[in-house]
Chain A
């Protein structure tokens, strides 16, 4: 098996069946339970993680097929001192969650969006976030938090 890096740490999954979806390896083997199981068929986005910067559904990625990948999960966003990303902070400031279960996936999809598009339009946000279901219906706040985090980053760039 090739090397997998998760949240900047090399991990050893050699003892795990290569057919295991990354989702369950994260949750059951590595104890990274922030990534959530919602549907198992890439319909809801609750299991979204970043693979080499791209948002992927970890329920569909078998660990045996992951080659030399750098995976980031929700646990890996804040820095070593626990400082949140502007997006995470915006999520708290806008009090986005209700039940909170889908929010890790939402934040990972939004992180991938902002990484490649620092100033997304509403249409860009809709397109990037339409794979993530929020059953509680927090979409208004999700969009507001993304816009707020983007505005903060752009303000920083401009100064």
Chain B
């Protein structure tokens, strides 16, 4: 059985589901780096999201306009809460001069030829799509103008557009986009270079606050997420892996389980590896026991009666406390391997007037996205499979499934579906592989549902680790030399695990004559992976706290010290927005200081703390207004966020990401910690892994500086400065330098 229509598939089997006809897209348009010529009229197009239209015209890969004026824009990248389902189509709509009220957004199909790389990661969707989507909007507008010119028999130079209307000012006549869309679709597309793009002062939509396109469906509880997917004759599965990571299922009471109510199948899967490391397009899969039943609850209920014999001979025996002991023993020396060295750090440190060395420690954390991993897979006996996956990397998921199932990629239809949070966890596709293999085994459509405990035990965790930082300053308190010994976890002792250790950064290495980065690897089998602003989310804590230590050691104001450390105006790799631009950096630092009233007198036991960090092409400075009482209870009263991320696409979405980053950052730094004992994850659910609650939220002030650089995404870069800003404030209050996250390990609470 094949389910081609994702809209049909996510309609619930029971109450209130609207009838949806199968859509017949005949889109000849493709996109492989260049724009496409072929256009197609779509007869009888019917969509669940839209009223029926008799006729509708596809103007290019992204834009389709119906005769009643409805404009459908495809959203090419997965929506995981970062807002791209709304913001990417806004870019098209701006250049199209569309009335946003006319716009309907649909998820694009997974198709590399037409849409290039479709993924959600690294805050890259906006910068990667910026030129492409503006051009798509402008091209569509151009053919509409041409069609209108023909219809009105006037030169297109005399036409103007606004809110989906084309006006001929000399005669006062106007036509709507819907009026001319059919004709426009027959015209040859212009070359992109012949279509002018707007200048920022002409924007009507970009930079405004636009509510998320899916918000109505969200607030009315409509089926929307991966977990909401229902297909006919679907069974429900749970997959039980060894509590000690990497243990293999040898035997289980499968026959007993099959007698439990509703249970159809119970079987062992061998897996492909002992421990599945982060590899979105790979085949890594753990051994375990699948239980497949008529409902989620029946599968979960049967699971309580499961007894498994596990072979743990090759399982993880990791212990967080043992890693800490090992790291503490070596942190005072340089690392085993020199990763980067310029000048002579040892000599420069020895000749410094002031010298400081500090070790920073950060624990493992879990992604804890709200929607536990799930995936619907429908294997067909003809060797094809259809999959509904809330993944950040749908194209990697297809590549992965092709390998693990041993079929061609063209036998796989994968639908991208809104995910209830990503944060990097859904970059990997381990749960997609599990669902597909279970579906094939039982030869039926299956929804695999992880429990929260599965999710927290079998994460690709943000790795814990250590940075020992040393710096030397001259007699005027100016930074001279910087030495970083990063101590990182590694499964093989050869390279750091995913997202562990330290990556090369522009600051402060590019500003100093003497800079060194050495590294030591500690053996650890616990799987790791990227988590929102990977590496930056820990290194910023160490670097920006340490810089405050240094400014304090030489008695300099933190703002002035930081600005001085950034040095002369310089764009490290001019033209590359992913390299540090000190002019932009200093501007956001100065701006946040001004907004927060840096230097003002603060009440007793209360202080401001500052941090700056550059990551994901975002220059972000933050100031925290914090108080701490004698019992180490922390209150974050207010956070100021000033960001330079280029022109803002959706102001509401961008502000929301900054606000969320602050909340996320506080929750992580204060109390989130994943530890392991003999290979088992000690935390299983939210009672042991506290996320920040509403009553602990600070007031948050977000400001974007006006900027004409190429824009970047803001899903990640506002997170890294949060922890050091708060820790720097705490030091100013009570003189205790925080060198470990989470702070709950040091007796602090919020």
Contacts and interface: CB of A to CB of B under 8 A. Distances in A.
A binds B: yes
Interface of A: 9, 17, 19-21, 24-25, 27-41, 43-44, 46, 73-75, 77-78, 82, 84, 88, 91-93, 95-104, 107, 125-127, 129-130, 132-143
A128 B693 CA distance: 11
Contact of B216 (A92, A130, A143): A92
B518 interface: no
Contacts of A135: 368-370, 421, 423, 664, 691
B226 to A, nearest CB: 10
A104 B372 CA distance: 16
Contacts of B699: 140
Given A24-B296, A78-B220, A95-B212, A139 B697 contact: yes
Given A33-B12, A38-B370, A130 B693 contact: yes
A123 B146 CA distance: 59
Interface in B441-492: 449, 451-452
27 contacts: A20-B295, A24-B297, A29-B14, A32-B221, A36-B225, A37-B227, A40-B451, A74-B219, A75-B222, A78-B220, A91-B219, A95-B212, A95-B653, A97-B212, A98-B421, A98-B657, A99-B418, A102-B370, A130-B695, A133-B686, A137-B661, A137-B662, A137-B697, A138-B663, A139-B694, A140-B700, A141-B659
B215 A99 contact: no
Contacts of B210: 95
Given A17-B297, A24-B295, A92-B211, A98 B694 contact: no
Nearest to B82: A98
B211 A93 contact: yes
A97 B418 CA distance: 13
Interface string B231-264: 0000010000000000000000000000001100
Contacts of B116: none
A40 B216 CA distance: 26
B297 A21 contact: yes
B183 interface: no
Contacts of A24: 295-297
B301 A88 contact: no
A92 B81 contact: no
Interface string B364-376: 0000111110000
Contacts of A95: 209-212, 215, 652-653, 656
Q: Which 4 A-B pairs have the closest CB atoms?
A: A34-B221, A31-B14, A137-B663, A101-B420
A43 B12 contact: no
A112 to B, nearest CB: 15
Contact of A31 (B13, B80, B451, B697): B13
B24 to A, nearest CB: 26
A91 B661 CA distance: 20
B660 interface: yes
Contacts of B17: 31
A145 to B, nearest CB: 10
Nearest to B230: A31
Interface residues of B, number: 72
A114 B209 CA distance: 27
Nearest to B684: A41
Contacts of B47: none
A84 B452 contact: no
A33 B219 contact: no
A84 B227 CA distance: 24
Contact of B296 (A28, A34, A36, A107): A28
A16 B311 CA distance: 37
A100 to B, nearest CB: 4
Nearest to A145: B219
Interface of B: 12-17, 80-83, 209-212, 214-216, 218-225, 227-228, 230, 236, 261-262, 295-298, 301, 368-372, 418-423, 449, 451-452, 652-653, 656-657, 659-664, 667, 685-687, 691-695, 697, 699-700
A91 B660 CA distance: 16
Contacts of B423: 135
Contact of B370 (A17, A41, A46): A46
Given A46-B370, A95-B652, A99-B369, A142 B296 contact: no
Name which of B212, B215, B664 has the most chain A CB atoms within 10 A of its CB. Answer: B215
Contact of B220 (A77, A98, A127, A134): A77
B227 A36 contact: yes
B219 A137 contact: no
A15 to B, nearest CB: 11
Nearest to A89: B219
A31 B214 CA distance: 20
Given A32-B12, A99-B420, A43 B218 contact: no
Contacts of B83: 98
Contact of A99 (B261, B421, B695): B421
A19 B660 contact: no
Nearest to A107: B219
A92 B219 contact: yes
A28 B297 contact: yes
Given A39-B685, A43-B686, A98-B83, 7 more contacts: A33-B228, A91-B215, A91-B219, A92-B215, A100-B218, A136-B660, A138-B663
Contacts of A17: 261-262, 297-298, 301
A48 to B, nearest CB: 12
Contacts of A40: 451-452, 685
B80 A99 contact: yes
B695 A74 contact: no
Nearest to B692: A137
B668 to A, nearest CB: 11
Name which of A43, A78, A107, A132 has the most chain B CB atoms within 10 A of its CB. Answer: A43
A89 B158 CA distance: 41
A116 B649 CA distance: 40
Contact of A29 (B209, B295, B419, B686): B295
Nearest to B225: A101
A113 to B, nearest CB: 12
B227 A133 contact: no
Contacts of B15: 9, 30-32, 75
Nearest to B450: A37
A99 B371 contact: yes
B535 to A, nearest CB: 21
Given A24-B295, A40-B451, A33 B227 contact: yes
Contacts of A27: 296
Nearest to B657: A98
Contacts of A25: 297
A82 B18 CA distance: 14
